[in-house]
Structure 1
């Protein structure tokens, strides 16, 4: 069954029965010129509770820390829509990401393990991806205060 055929009920069941522990699940979400990493959530939490994060790379670099103009399979963002099992923690800091004009939580990863390379839709089956424009935003993303 392809990811496009996965219903919200099937996704909820998959999440409810996934492995849990002292780690997070992450979905790489790449949009050109932005510096956020993607969405991170606790095991068995729905993606609607995930947070769009900026990664702190003091302990370990992002898996796609590669040149932005390299070959398509070996450049920054090549892992768009991949799911990861990530160890680390939220630092409690909010980081301003200027290309998106968002304040996002900082996550300090200590390890990554890619689970799959095609996570399918994130929030709803109607999700769509545009590599130059932010199209996947949930209510956990905070706008700057004026």
Structure 2
């Protein structure tokens, strides 16, 4: 995990990766809980027996489940010590270039695309978050997230 003292320490890092998360195992229990939370019980996600005959041969995670893990990834990728809060402001260009078979190991890379100073020492950050699957040639999720950090 990379650690930064102040939000402003990120400003000169535009264009650079500011952190890479730890690996996270995506198991069927998490997929099922996400299906229950969202009401999306499509068989390709929650029925391992039927999924064996599906297009991927195994159940796959919901794309939105992968996207929803970005905060968890960020907590192991980087930390800003003198920041009291970070809030989601929005997303741009979300894509799911490859599926996530249940049982996959995932991690995310956080690249700072832009830094905009806000009042009272805060900043609006635009991050390109690329989620990779261990052993795969394509990322499983690429999203541009806009986050506001406050001192």
TM-score (norm 1): 0.26
Larger Rg: 2
Q: Which has the higher strand share?
A: 2
Q: Which has the higher helix share?
A: 2
Q: Which has the higher contact order (CA 8 A, sep 6+)?
A: 2
TM-score (norm 2): 0.25
